[in-house]
Amino acid sequence: MRLANLEGRAVLVLEPGAPDGTGARGVDLHAASDGALGPDPATVYERWDALRAWYAAAADGLVADLDIDPERLGAPSPRPPQALALGFNYAEHARETGFEAPTELPPVFPKFASSITGPRGIVDLPEGGTTDWEVEVVAVIGRTARRVTPAQAWDHVAGLCVGQDLSERTRQFAGPAPQFGLAKSHPGFSPMGPWLVTPDELADPDDLALGCAIDGEVVQDGRTGLLLFSVPRAIAALSEVITLLPGDVVFTGTPDGVGVGREPQRFLRSGETLRTWVEGIGEMVHTLR
Ligand code: ZN
């Protein structure tokens, strides 16, 4: 199942169209379920089991009657109770930024909710000129998770979407302690999309190609199979400390290829286009300004 947020309404994507979402078609969840589910995409995760059960029975009879313009898509979970992110969760990315690859749970920081946006649009660059890119797979929680094991963790994930953990590096590394949460939460710094894809739709949800390109030049090209803490291991470890809630989003970390790790360093510039993708899910396109 693919679930999108089309201008604030939950929509099932029945025909995903081109890789960038052009030509996608689907149905409005609230209308298709005779008012039983939706329409608010922020609250569908609170009734995720009911949604999955309804979809299992109804899927074969659904007919796409809605054009889905990717420009009108919002984040699949637009108001998560909690938005978490993992740092240094790929060994090569830890190395390129001068850190040891973590052996315990990598550093966890918040992405403040006001930074969340959808898979298209303009991102305003803060002053300073050191905004960096970080493609990431984002896991959306579908069931309350407290002290779950890695083997149980996928059952608590509603699905995955594409994410960018945009990062303003000067503030991030200034001061006596790193400012991860703040430096990664400027408006538009947590785009997600184009829609949520349930794990059963993916050939191997634990090994997906992911990457991003600036004006067509590929700058990151990785695989989630190289995550130090895989999605289920990360969910299990986080749930040992906190309670993960339906609708929560977890940015799982970025592979190598970020700008701050380059020689010379490179950062996003006004006028550039950032395309971000994950295999089997789709892609996002943002313009920097
Ligand atoms: Zn990140």
pLDDT, one tens digit per residue, over 220-248 is 999 999 999 999 999 999 999 999 999 99
For ligand 1, the distance from its centroid to the CA atom of residue 10, given in whole angstroms, is: 27
CA–CA separation, 184 and 256 (whole Å): 17
Q: What is the pLDDT of residue 42?
A: 96
For ligand 1, the distance from its centroid to the CA atom of residue 60, given in whole angstroms, is: 38
For ligand 1, the distance from its centroid to the CA atom of residue 254, given in whole angstroms, is: 5
Q: Give CA angle at 195 (238, 139), nearest 5°.
A: 10
49 touches 143 (CB < 8 A): yes
For ligand 1, the distance from its centroid to the CA atom of residue 179, given in whole angstroms, is: 13
Bridge partners (DSSP) of residue 121 are 286
Q: What is the pLDDT of residue 7?
A: 97
pLDDT, one tens digit per residue, over 268-278 is 999 999 999 99
For ligand 1, the distance from its centroid to the CA atom of residue 58, given in whole angstroms, is: 37
pLDDT, one tens digit per residue, over 108-148 is 999 999 999 999 999 999 999 999 999 999 999 999 999 99
For ligand 1, the distance from its centroid to the CA atom of residue 172, given in whole angstroms, is: 12
Q: What is the pLDDT of residue 279?
A: 97
pLDDT classification of 19: cutoffs 50, 70, 90:
confident
Averaged pLDDT for residues 10-25: 94
Task: Inform me whether the pLDDT recorded for 257 exceeds 90.
Answer: yes
For ligand 1, the distance from its centroid to the CA atom of residue 213, given in whole angstroms, is: 16
Reduce the secondary structure of the chain to three states and give it as a string.
CEEEEECCEEEEEEECCCCCCCCEEEEEHHHHCCCCCCCCCCCHHHHHHHHHHHHHHHHHHCCCCEEECHHHEECCCCCCCCEEEECCCEHHHHHHCCCCCCCCCCCEEECCHHHEECCEEEECCCCCCCEECCEEEEEEECCCECCCCHHHHHHHEEEEEEEECCEEHHHHCCCCCCCHHHHCCCCCCEEEEEEEECHHHCCCCCCCEEEEEECCEEEEEEEHHHECCCHHHHHHHHHHHCCECCCCEEECCCCCCCCCCCCCCCCCCCCCEEEEEECCCEEEEEEEC
Q: What is the pLDDT of residue 239?
A: 98
Q: Which two tokens stand for residue 159?
A: 């699905």
For ligand 1, the distance from its centroid to the CA atom of residue 176, given in whole angstroms, is: 20
For ligand 1, the distance from its centroid to the CA atom of residue 182, given in whole angstroms, is: 13
Averaged pLDDT for residues 26-51: 97
Cα of 3 vs its chain's centroid, Å: 13
pLDDT, one tens digit per residue, over 68-121 is 999 999 999 999 999 999 999 999 999 999 988 888 899 999 999 999 999 999
For ligand 1, the distance from its centroid to the CA atom of residue 135, given in whole angstroms, is: 7
Q: Half-sphere exposure of 3 toward its Cβ, with a 13 Å CA cutoff?
A: 32
pLDDT classification of 20: cutoffs 50, 70, 90:
confident
Task: Inform me whether the pLDDT recorded for 175 exceeds 90.
Answer: no
142 touches 48 (CB < 8 A): yes
pLDDT averaged over the chain? 97
Task: Inform me whether the pLDDT recorded for 23 exceeds 90.
Answer: yes
For ligand 1, the distance from its centroid to the CA atom of residue 56, given in whole angstroms, is: 34
For ligand 1, the distance from its centroid to the CA atom of residue 180, given in whole angstroms, is: 9
Query: Which pTM does this prediction carry?
Result: 0.98
